[in-house]
Amino acid sequence: MITEQQDKTAVAPHGFDLSVASGLRRYSAQHGELTLTSVFQPVFSLSHMRAIGYEGFLRAHDALDRPISPLDVFGEAARVGEVLQVDRLAQALHLENFALLGAEREWLFLNVHPGTLIEPYHAAALLANLARLDLPPRRVVLEALEADATDLDALAHAVAEFRERGFLVALDDFGAGHVDIGRVWQLNPDIVKLDRIMLLHAAHRADMAATLPALVALLHEAGKLVLIEGVETEQEAQLALSCNADFVQGFFFARPAPGLADAAHAQAVIAGATERFRQRTEARERGTASRLAPYVRAFERAAERLGAGEALEEVCWNFLALDHAARCFLLDANGCQAGRNVVLRVDRAEHDARFLPLDDAQGANWLRRPYFRAALVAPGRVHASPPYLSINEALPCVTLSMAVQVGDRLCVLCGDVDWVAEEPA
């Protein structure tokens, strides 16, 4: 039913009401005693500094206009066996309201129950709604929501078929519950949404903060774009920037609303966060360089003496006398270690006792290590690796390396520095 305040030129789909508030037209629908409608939260590209999509969220009010949680709406639907019907109603609402937004190229992120994708009747209803609204599938990102009884093989097959029709597919809630890396390989989505729980862990644990960029890199190598959802604070925004996420979503950038995002405000928020990220990154790099400076000087002197013909065991003492210097070792031009590790402190031998099988590295081949290849690319210059996990004792370290001419042989001198991770930004 359309009220007198509504736009007389608009025709409401069967079962929907069209209302106008604050200049915005919105469809709503009745489900029992509840009134359902849509709001949209922008999804931003950090690089483009603008909204590239909108996720539809259900909003419900009872007969007294009191808000009802969408979780309660779907929980009650599940109790009475109407989940797919309510899910289809929510999809139709989001599609109708998204069409009213006037977004010209942005995606609609649409949460869908697995049954919508798997069961032909519900899939046909979704396709019919798109055709009626003249909304091409390429404008829709289907967010696959797993249910306990989901047939994953059937879901994977359905996802592949929808992708062939032109839809994009996102895997939601990655990192929460049982949604793990295996689902990425099985469902082969275009976009992986990292759950907010991962941000919360990374914000309070240095090891998780260091792991998050590696996870994003792994997903990128698998050909997946990465969206971090639930970004609510400056610290979480900085984590999203530092791990090279493609897209972000959350209260820090914009809350769900009936209309489009304020483009100027969004650009200012992202630009401000990016500038603070640049400043912090440069400050951290200066701090790292300052922290390594005494090790680099001692290492350069050791390399000079090694090139002059002194023995490895004699040239490393000044370097190894520094507080966090761990070991020195020498590689040939093929990455093979000549001799044992040179270690100064007695306490390190005691610390290493649990890793005794790894103690003797003579003859080990470190050809795969980036620090070895980097040294060969620029002989005579000290290269400092990014922090990584040392195989010697499963602790973070930074390796200094330099290609040195020793007699008629080109060798690579290496020195490890224990590296305590910084606190998350």
Domains of the chain: 16-261 (3.20.20.450), 293-418 (3.30.450.20)
List beta partners, residue 258: none
Say how far apart CA 378 and CA 401 lie, in whole Å: 10
pLDDT of residue 232: 96
Pairing of strands 24-31, 247-249: unpaired
What is the dihedral sign for C-alpha 341, 346, 349, 352?
Answer: negative
pLDDT of residue 7: 39
Cβ-based neighbours of 128, under 8 Å, separated by 6 or more: none
16, 188, 191, 230: which is closest to 109 by C-alpha? 191
Say how far apart CA 1 and CA 286 lie, in whole Å: 65
Confidence band of 353 (pLDDT split at 50, 70, 90): low
Say how far apart CA 248 and CA 231 lie, in whole Å: 7
Say how far apart CA 164 and CA 177 lie, in whole Å: 29
| Tokens, residue 91 | 């999809």
> How many other β-carbons are positioned within 10 Å of the β-carbon of residue 259?
17
Confidence band of 394 (pLDDT split at 50, 70, 90): confident
pLDDT tens digit string along 50-93?
999 999 999 999 999 999 999 999 999 989 988 889 999 999 99
| Tokens, residue 156 | 């994977």
Confidence band of 349 (pLDDT split at 50, 70, 90): low
- How does DSSP assign 343-384, residue by residue? ---HHHHHHGGGGGGGS--TT-B-TT-HHHHHHHHSTTS-EE
Rounded average pLDDT over 230-259: 96
**pLDDT reading at 3 higher than 70:** no
pLDDT of residue 390: 86
Say how far apart CA 298 and CA 304 lie, in whole Å: 10
**Total residue length of the chain:** 425
Say how far apart CA 58 and CA 51 lie, in whole Å: 20
**pLDDT reading at 10 higher than 80:** no
Given a contact cutoff of 8 angstroms between Cβ atoms, the answer to whether 51 and 269 are in contact is no
Given a contact cutoff of 8 angstroms between Cβ atoms, the answer to whether 411 and 331 are in contact is yes
| Tokens, residue 325 | 């210097």
Confidence band of 8 (pLDDT split at 50, 70, 90): very low
> How many other β-carbons are positioned within 10 Å of the β-carbon of residue 375?
27
Say how far apart CA 58 and CA 47 lie, in whole Å: 29
pLDDT of residue 53: 98
**pLDDT reading at 398 higher than 70:** yes
Say how far apart CA 101 and CA 81 lie, in whole Å: 32
pTM (two decimals): 0.85
Rounded average pLDDT over 393-422: 90
pLDDT of residue 2: 26
Angle of CA points 24, 26, 27, to nearest 5°? 165
